[in-house]
Structure 1
């Protein structure tokens, strides 16, 4: 299969690799993009890692030479979103290094207790009741409530462990306003990715293995999609969906760059 696009937005886990396991088809796909001087950006819901760490993992562990500029995380998208508000300066963050550095890079002052102009929350494997308490108080006092992504679980060697969505739900249960969710399948991260790659919606293709995150993100953003059956989604399940991906392949080896 082949069709021309000016830029590719690409999921990582399940699409380019599986956890620590290499996926040769993913490596070959990215190599074809690079060889054809095609624009591409890795778009991930993972807010715990910096773009530098993601790029290092791709380069050293999966033999996919990558720079930090080729990575866009939900933490970066959240920081870009908050930067659009003139009244947001102090941010109470519940999260890890990737989210922290993304917010600092945009010039926000990070605080650990109310008051704050915004509460930014993502996966935090050191979450405490006190952090949730302070986030609750800040939101009750008028802070914007923004979450990196709604992922309920993460696949690991130990099984499906709690994802960012579980931490977000902890705080969301205690406050009235629902959070603005940034990551896939929402449109916000896609808009940020398009801005970073400097292409329009009609010029882009969203590539991923998960219908409910990657493909729905493309559908919500009016971007063409390519579903690869190498990870989460199964053909029988996707066939039942009212909205279908623009394209699908069994392997990224089946997609040709035009």
Structure 2
């Protein structure tokens, strides 16, 4: 494995699995810090804000991390909305942290079918009434933005439906195609690399999901590492499509001392 100056690490399934700790991943982060290498945590999960993730990583897992090293699909979505849809009213189908991110950005939150844009993420308390309002907004001409299309999210008790299942419902009901912000869109990876101030060839994207993490890295033009601690297995890798640069059982398998330049 070649040497890299920066590492982008997925969270769910890569750094931890729900409430289950991955000691090999924690040790890997400590080794990155000890070697003075740059790293950033990236997640498609928009159900938790940066401060909550920081508390989990920095205090519960005792990892060396600052809030500036955490980049979520919610942050990327808000940055996109401020740049391209700053004056539009926004219906948010998502949990409290996503709504808070929209409010804090000074965007117009409109929880009615008259909203001009629907922003959707994972909502584990979603009900038919909310789905109906979002669908009617889309039928009325609202644009459709989603934080991520993950089919499943790994938890300590097994895989659970994720944001993509809700996206599929709304697309089928409204016949409006969603614009994707998070992985596998390369834009979120490119934004993270820009924040790290590194060249693409100096960055390794690490994740457990072949369809999101690895594809996003591939489309962004960076090397990728598929770690087999979360959603995907080696059998999920399609030999006719994009390939991970590396595959490992867990992050403890990476030996920096044997890296070749």
- Please say whether Structure 1 and Structure 2 have the same fold, judged by a TM-score greater than 0.5: yes
In structure 2, relative to structure 1, the CA distance for the partners of 1:242 and 1:34 (3 Å cut) is same
Matches within 5 A, 1:102-181: 102-181=101-180
Matched, 1:27 2:22: no
RMSD: 2.1
In structure 2, relative to structure 1, the CA distance for the partners of 1:237 and 1:91 (3 Å cut) is closer
Contact residue 210 and residue 236 of structure 2 kept, 8 A: no
Show CA shifts across 1:109-135 (max 9, x none). 111113223110111122233322322
Aligned position for 2:247: 248
What SS does structure 2 have at the residue aligned with 1:173?
A: helix
Matched, 1:59 2:53: no
Aligned position for 2:233: 234
For these two proteins, the number of residue pairs brought into alignment is 257
Show CA shifts across 1:71-91 (max 9, x none). 111111111121221554321
Offset, 1:250: 3.0
Offset, 1:143: 2.1
Offset, 1:106: 2.4
Judge which range, 90-99 or 248-257, deviates more. Answer: 248-257
Offset, 1:157: 4.5
Aligned position for 1:82: 81
Unaligned runs of 5+ in 1: none
Unaligned runs of 5+ in 2: none
What SS does structure 2 have at the residue aligned with 1:84?
A: helix
What SS does structure 1 have at the residue aligned with 2:175?
A: coil
Partners in 2 of 1:233 and 1:241 — Cα distance? 17
Contact residue 152 and residue 162 of structure 1 kept, 8 A: yes
Offset, 1:206: 0.3
Show CA shifts across 1:115-164 (max 9, x none). 22311011112223332232223223332200111122223345432211
Aligned position for 2:68: 69
Partners in 2 of 1:253 and 1:159 — Cα distance? 22
Offset, 1:42: 0.6
Show CA shifts across 1:1-41 (max 9, x none). 3x232321111122222222222211111111112222211
What SS does structure 2 have at the residue aligned with 1:174?
A: helix
